[in-house]
């Protein structure tokens, strides 16, 4: 037990934070060595197991991320863009693998992660599930096989607490479709249609977001032609899927050189 890689979870009180803590505690391949929350959070100083409404596990929630990271081999971070950028610099300083599930990151944020990746291993993906990463490959293949006579639309549904759109997964799928077509996604994105939008532009890749209830995450990639359509779909029905993927990435990262990786690398897809 003592030689197992130690993992810190940031955003410990969040939906994914709690799922990650339970997943690490249940694993026989790693151990929980820290739980981080933001300064002023009412969980700070509490045993994280008790704060989550369960049994004590001896890990006290802290707002001192660097101190927590310095005792760990990996940090798993599903929080918010500004927090993730700050955590990546600290993970690099502490020499930990940084697994990032946070979505909604700007190009500027991603550039800053690149600086940290000169010093540590970063694994980042908008979706940590096997199914979505496989769907990404399939999307690229279908986009390669079809021309712009088929309109590509990515439709995603999530719970009513999600703060970013399109989802990280939708953007991964859109990128894959753009790559398959040999175009830059930023030049063909059509997102957030409203009002008199004009007719759809040939070659565009469209995004639509549905928000409501407790939907964990659903994604359709539609290739719409004349008289036929192909729909590739992934439905996540349990968040533990993402947490298990993130733990796999943290363990995989232990043997990698500093740099930026994604779940395709982890899964060997
Ligand atoms: N890649 C993947 O497979 C998946 C990615 N996600 C992504 O993970 C992220 C989190 O999702 P979810 O758990 O549902 O969201 P929650 O809002 O439930 O949790 C986010 C957590 O991050 C904390 N946090 C936010 N800002 C900071 C900060 N500056 N410093 C420290 N902690 C901070 C929040 O604290 P507080 O409550 O105090 O704000 C909260 O505990 C989202 O970006 C989501 O899209 C989700 C599922 C799968
Ligand atoms: O916020 C979520 O919940 C999810 N976010 C990720 C995304 O933005 O794609 C992954 C998953 O769909 C759940």
Domain ranges of the chain: 6-124+239-267, 130-236
pLDDT, block means (10 residues), the chain with 269 residues: 90 98 98 98 98 97 98 98 98 98 97 95 98 98 98 98 98 98 98 97 98 98 98 98 98 98 97
What's the pLDDT at 1?
Answer: 58
Please indicate whether residue 264, judged by its CB atom, sits closer than 6 Å to ligand 1.
no
Q: Rounded to an integer, what distance in angstroms lies between the CA atom of residue 208 and that of residue 62?
A: 38
98 is catalytic: no
From the CA of 101, how far away is ligand 1's center (Å)? 9
Helix axes 107-116, 81-94, angle to 10 degrees: 10
Q: Which residues of 56-76 are buried (b: 16+ CB within 10 A; e: fewer)?
A: eeebbbbeebeebbeebbbbb
Please indicate whether residue 102, judged by its CB atom, sits closer than 6 Å to ligand 1.
yes
What's the pLDDT at 140?
Answer: 98
84 CB-near residues (< 8 Å, 6+ apart): 77, 100, 102, 105, 109, 113
Q: Which fold has domain 6-124+239-267?
A: Rossmann fold (3.40.50)
Q: Which amino acid residue places its CA nearest to atom 4 of ligand 2?
A: 217
Q: Between 3.40.50.12280, 3.40.50.620, 3.30.360.10, 3.30.70.260, what CATH number should domain 130-236 receive? A: 3.30.360.10
Q: Pinpoint the alpha helices (H) of the chain.
A: 15-26, 48-51, 65-69, 81-94, 107-116, 130-145, 168-181, 185-188, 240-253, 263-267
Ligand nearest to the CA of 125: 1
Q: Rounded to an integer, what distance in angstroms lies between the CA atom of residue 7 and that of residue 250?
A: 8
Q: Which residues pair with 231 in a beta bridge?
A: 222
Nearest-atom number in ligand 1 for the CA of 65 is 31
**Omega of the bond leading into 166 within 30 degrees of 0 (cis):** yes
Q: pTM of the predicted model, to two decimals?
A: 0.97
Ligand nearest to the CA of 262: 1
- Residue for token pair 């045993």: 47
What's the pLDDT at 261?
Answer: 98
CB 174 within 8 A of CB 207: yes
162 is catalytic: yes
What's the pLDDT at 84?
Answer: 98
* The token pair that represents 26 in the structure block: 């249940």
Please indicate whether residue 101, judged by its CB atom, sits closer than 6 Å to ligand 1.
yes
For a mutational test of ligand 1's pocket, the pick from 12, 16, 130, i.e. the residue with the most ligand atoms closer than 8 A to its C-beta, is: 16
């Amino acid at each position: 037990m003592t030689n197992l890689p130690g993992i810190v979870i940031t955003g410990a009180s969040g939906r994914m934070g709690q799922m990650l803590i339970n997943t690490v505690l249940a694993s026989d391949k790693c151990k929980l060595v820290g739980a981080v929350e933001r300064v002023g959070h009412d969980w700070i100083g509490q045993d994280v197991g008790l704060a989550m409404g369960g049994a004590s596990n001896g890990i006290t929630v802290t707002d001192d991320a660097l101190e927590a990271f310095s005792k760990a081999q990996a940090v798993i971070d599903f929080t918010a863009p500004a927090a993730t950028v700050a955590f990546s610099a600290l993970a690099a300083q502490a020499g930990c693998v940084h697994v990032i599930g946070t979505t909604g990151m700007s190009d500027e944020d991603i550039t800053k992660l690149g600086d940290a990746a000169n010093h540590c291993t970063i694994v980042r993906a908008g979706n940590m599930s096997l199914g979505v990463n496989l769907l990404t490959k399939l999307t690229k293949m279908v986009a390669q096989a079809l021309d712009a006579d088929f309109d590509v639309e990515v439709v995603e549904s999530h719970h009513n607490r999600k703060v970013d759109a399109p989802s990280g997964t939708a953007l991964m799928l859109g990128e894959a479709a753009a790559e398959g077509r040999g175009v830059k996604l930023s030049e063909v994105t059509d997102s957030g249609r409203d009002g008199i939008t004009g007719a759809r532009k040939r070659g565009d890749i469209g995004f639509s977001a549905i928000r409501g209830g407790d939907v964990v995450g659903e994604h359709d990639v539609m290739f719409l032609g004349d008289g036929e359509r192909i729909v590739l779909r992934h439905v996540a029905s349990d968040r533990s899927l993402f947490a298990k993927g993130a733990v796999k990435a943290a363990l995989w990262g232990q043997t990698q050189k500093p740099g930026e990786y994604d779940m395709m690398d982890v899964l060997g897809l």
